[in-house]
Amino acid sequence: MKALALGCGEPVAACSACLRRRIRRSPHESVGFWFTYCRRCSTGEAIYKTFPHNPPHLFIPGCLYIVTAATYNKMRHMQADERKQQVIASLHFALDKERWQLIAYSVMSNHYHAVLRAPDTGAQRLSAIINSIHRFTASQWNKEDGTPRRQVWWNYWDTCLTSEGSFYTRINYVHWNPVKHGLVPRPELYGYSTYRLWQEQWPSALDSIERDYPFDRVSVRDDF
């Protein structure tokens, strides 16, 4: 089984800074991840940044994040399926370039959610990555719509996930978000998320995660 560590990126036995804990043998293991939680990580220090007129951000090397981004005034700029695909392609391109891992996403008409894993170095680049995605898509759409000075995106919010339960619960939240917003009755019917990918690659794990980690009490900004 391969490693996906929260913190140093190493399997538990290889990192002296990690809690000596492995997840119990369960259907979740078929996802193919180690899930370890580092109290401190030898690969870098946490960075806390504040920005004028924007929410503060905590950047931790190797950490897992849920990111939510919304359009200005909740405008449905991504109503067209082609624009949802453009956001997905932009996420892949920008994150791959900076060595971030895109684990799950769901793109709606006026916002998106994504679960990401930071690289061991460069975690503080998250704001720049999201901003580059938003600048590129806004420029493209404003050209198409003949509105060169229009503000398309409003902001983004990120949360560092510090436990196995937080991770799996947010995976569920992201995948079931189209159902929550009344777009489809089942997440596999929505074409602009990673649910189908998870369903194809880790079906038994997905069933177990959905059963064991309900998302209905999760606090995620989602008033869109």
DSSP output for 143-192:
HHHT-TT---EEEEEEEEE-SHHHHHHHHHHHHHHHHHTTS-SSGGG-SS
What are the phi and psi torsion angles at 60 (to 5°)?
A: -130, 125
Question: pLDDT below 50 — which residues of the chain?
Answer: 1-57
Tell me the two tokens of residue 106. Answer: 């769901």
Q: Which residues pair with 70 in a beta bridge?
A: 111, 155
Cβ atoms of 174 and 215 within 8 Å: the answer is no
pLDDT value for 59: 54
pLDDT value for 224: 67
Tell me the two tokens of residue 203. Answer: 């079906």
Q: Rounded to 5, what percent of the chain is helix, strand, coil?
A: 40, 20, 40
pLDDT value for 223: 72
Q: What angle do CA 47, 52, 58 make, to 5 degrees?
A: 20
Q: Write down the residue that tokens 């998302």 correspond to.
A: 215
Cβ atoms of 110 and 78 within 8 Å: the answer is yes
Work out the burial of residue 25: count CB atoms within 10 Å of its CB; fewer than 13 is exposed, 13-18 middle, 19 or more buried: exposed
Cβ atoms of 145 and 135 within 8 Å: the answer is no
Q: Write down the residue that tokens 């580092």 correspond to.
A: 38
Cβ atoms of 135 and 142 within 8 Å: the answer is no
Whole-number Å distance between alpha carbons of 200 and 120: 29
Please write the tens of the pLDDT for every residue from 16-54: 333 233 333 334 444 444 344 333 333 444 433 343 444
Tell me the two tokens of residue 218. Answer: 């999760």
Q: Which CATH architecture has domain 45-212?
A: 2-Layer Sandwich (3.30)
What is the percent of the chain where pLDDT is above 90? Answer: 60
What does pTM read for this prediction? 0.77
